């Protein structure tokens, strides 16, 4: 894990963002980037002294862009901008989201395209390194003109105002937090307030984290599919490579099929099914798993392409071009990011939906090929996993609701100057909920398939599957009379979140694709 991330004029890698946002890595400004930022700032200061109006430097903002601001009022202009735009409401967003938001804004400030002083970038990095986290609220961004309210709640802390939490998560007065860390509040100069808030940084940070989570969950989905195939006495022939790459060359589909086949290798249950030879084909939720998970994989890859392009961008308005021209633009519009955030919510919901169908099949004695009703120890007295499937169905239903796109909505703002917005922040917020729910759905499939496989004894699962079951059984007991199930679901979810199950499986089967 990278312990220190360096900000240069060329941007960041996704891994750098995760290191800072999730793992507390420190950040430093590359000396060459500092020189570039300082040189561009000198140019902005020259423009500020001129008579030609420059948006954000010597004028008001948004619908007030034609209002000229005299030099004596420009400190007040920048200060008022941040105070008025720090107008969020609702619950606080997660620390990792705020850290990603701050880092990505600092990345653009370090590009030399925004015209801020080096001290502004360095103060933002100092907040990150001191683990001072501004309080940012759920509501306030329309995903256009940047994530304005969320970024303003970060910028106001640079000024020594607003609200923030310390490393331990305790809210304390901002002046006290800054003084303790040896950080001087920033008195914002021309252009700097605007540069601090005019970016897609919140939605991009959440996109990068969702991609990382979904990469793991797609491999988990292949694992739970393999477990369910064995639990339901399915066939492995549909996962053979000649049915995928050559016949339908979607790369994600081929990768998913290869994973499932590897995870089934050596299964005594599958060998018994082949010897029996009584069924021609399995239900869609088994047979079509690579097509669904593969489509999800390919969508994640498209989202990664968009995220990498956005990571290479310098989002501000106005922006300073290489020839020194300061010009207005629309690059702050979050549409490209909002679209893929919505796409990921759709495929996550469908991946959860097919997993729930496999779970339900294992609980139905008419479709489970010999398993007891609801996998109960004493059906009638015991209910087994009946209500665990209810919970799974409730999660899937919520995910389907959250898959309704946010990016097709738009409410005009700023006296109709900002008459089309992306709602990308909202697309990101609902995707975060969707990703968490997908992990819970897969945790319940893991629990269900593990119990069903145990009930198939003396037939044995594949070695990779046995490794997953061994890890699970360290914290969750096997079949028996009904017990308090919520802790079991939470334990399985934790094993998926921290990667313990995948690590055990990949030690046996090799790195999954």
Catalytic residues: 55
What are the Cα distances from residue 132, in Å, to 98, 184, 428? 10, 13, 23
Whether 153 contacts 179, CB under 8 Å: no
How far is it, in rounded angstroms, from Cα 128 to Cα 21?
Answer: 9
> Tokens standing for 355?
């997993």
CA dihedral 150, 155, 160, 164 (to 10 degrees): 30
> Tokens standing for 61?
């903002």
Nearest to 231 by CA among 379, 384, 370, 386: 370
Nearest to 213 by CA among 455, 449, 437: 437
CA dihedral 310, 97, 216, 500 (to 10 degrees): 150
Residue 146 CB-half CA count within 13 A: 25
Phi, psi values for residue 396, rounded to 5°: -65, -40
Instruction: Give the ranges where 118-250 is alpha helix by DSSP (H).
Output: 118-129, 148-158, 174-181, 192-197, 201-231
How far is it, in rounded angstroms, from Cα 23 to Cα 45?
Answer: 38
How far is it, in rounded angstroms, from Cα 340 to Cα 428?
Answer: 9
Could you tell me which residues are beta bridge partners of residue 204? none
DSSP 369: T
> Tokens standing for 400?
């389907």
CA dihedral 420, 310, 93, 168 (to 10 degrees): -160
Phi, psi values for residue 132, rounded to 5°: -90, 120
**Class of residue 246 by CB neighbours under 10 A (exposed 0-12, middle 13-18, buried 19+):** exposed
Work out the angle at residue 346's Cα, subtended by the Cα atoms of residues 341 and 352, and round it to the nearest 5 degrees: 125
How far is it, in rounded angstroms, from Cα 37 to Cα 120?
Answer: 10
How far is it, in rounded angstroms, from Cα 513 to Cα 464?
Answer: 15
Phi, psi values for residue 139, rounded to 5°: -115, 140
First vs last C-alpha separation in the chain: 21
How far is it, in rounded angstroms, from Cα 373 to Cα 364?
Answer: 6
Phi, psi values for residue 389, rounded to 5°: -70, -35
């Amino acid at each position: 894990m990278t312990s220190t991330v360096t900000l240069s004029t060329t941007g960041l890698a996704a891994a750098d963002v995760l290191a800072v946002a999730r793992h507390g890595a420190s950040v430093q400004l590359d000396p060459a980037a500092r020189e570039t930022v300082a040189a561009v700032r000198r140019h902005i200061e020259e423009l500020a002294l001129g008579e030609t109006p420059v948006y954000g430097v010597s004028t008001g903002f948004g619908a007030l862009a034609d209002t000229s601001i005299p030099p004596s009022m420009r400190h007040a202009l920048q200060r008022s901008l941040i105070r008025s735009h720090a107008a969020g409401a609702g619950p606080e967003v997660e620390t990792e989201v705020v850290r990603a938001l701050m880092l990505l804004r600092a990345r653009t400030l370090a590009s030399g395209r925004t015209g801020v002083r080096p001290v502004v970038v360095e103060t933002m990095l100092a907040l990150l390194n001191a683990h001072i986290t501004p309080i940012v609220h759920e509501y306030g961004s329309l995903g256009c003109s940047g994530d304005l309210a969320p970024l303003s709640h970060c910028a106001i802390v640079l000024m020594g105002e607003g609200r923030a939490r310390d490393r331990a998560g305790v809210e304390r007065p901002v002046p006290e937090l800054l003084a303790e860390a040896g950080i001087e509040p920033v008195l914002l100069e021309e252009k700097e307030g605007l540069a601090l808030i005019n970016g897609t940084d919140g939605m991009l940070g959440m996109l990068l984290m969702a991609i990382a989570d979904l990469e793991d969950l797609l491999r988990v989905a292949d694992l739970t599919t393999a477990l369910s195939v064995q639990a339901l006495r399915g066939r492995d022939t549909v996962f053979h490579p000649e049915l995928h790459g050559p016949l339908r060359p979607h790369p994600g589909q081929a990768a998913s099929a290869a994973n499932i086949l590897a995870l089934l290798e050596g299964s005594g249950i599958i060998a018994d099914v082949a010897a029996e030879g009584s069924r021609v084909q399995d239900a869609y939720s088994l047979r079509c798993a690579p097509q669904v998970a593969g489509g999800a994989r390919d969508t994640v890859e498209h989202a990664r392409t968009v995220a990498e392009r956005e990571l290479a961008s310098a989002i501000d308005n106005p922006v300073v071009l290489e020839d020194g021209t300061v010009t207005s633009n629309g690059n702050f519009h979050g549409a490209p990011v909002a679209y893929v955030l919505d796409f990921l919510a759709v495929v996550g919901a469908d991946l959860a939906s097919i997993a729930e169908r496999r779970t339900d099949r294992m609980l139905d004695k008419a479709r489970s090929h010999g398993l007891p009703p609801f996998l109960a120890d004493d059906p009638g007295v015991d209910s087994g996993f009946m209500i665990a499937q209810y919970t799974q169905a409730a999660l899937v239903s919520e995910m389907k609701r959250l898959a309704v796109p946010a990016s097709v909505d738009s409410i005009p703002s700023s006296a109709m100057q900002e008459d089309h917005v992306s709602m990308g922040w909202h697309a990101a917020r609902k995707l975060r909920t969707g990703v968490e729910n997908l992990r819970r759905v897969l945790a319940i499939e893991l629990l269900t398939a593990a119990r069903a496989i145990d009930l198939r004894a003396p037939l044995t699962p594949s070695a990779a599957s046995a490794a997953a079951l061994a890890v699970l059984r360290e914290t969750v007991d096997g079949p028996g009379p009904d017990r308090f199930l919520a802790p079991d679901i939470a334990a399985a979810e934790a094993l998926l979140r921290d990667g313990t199950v995948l690590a055990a499986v990949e030690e046996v089967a090799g790195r999954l694709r």
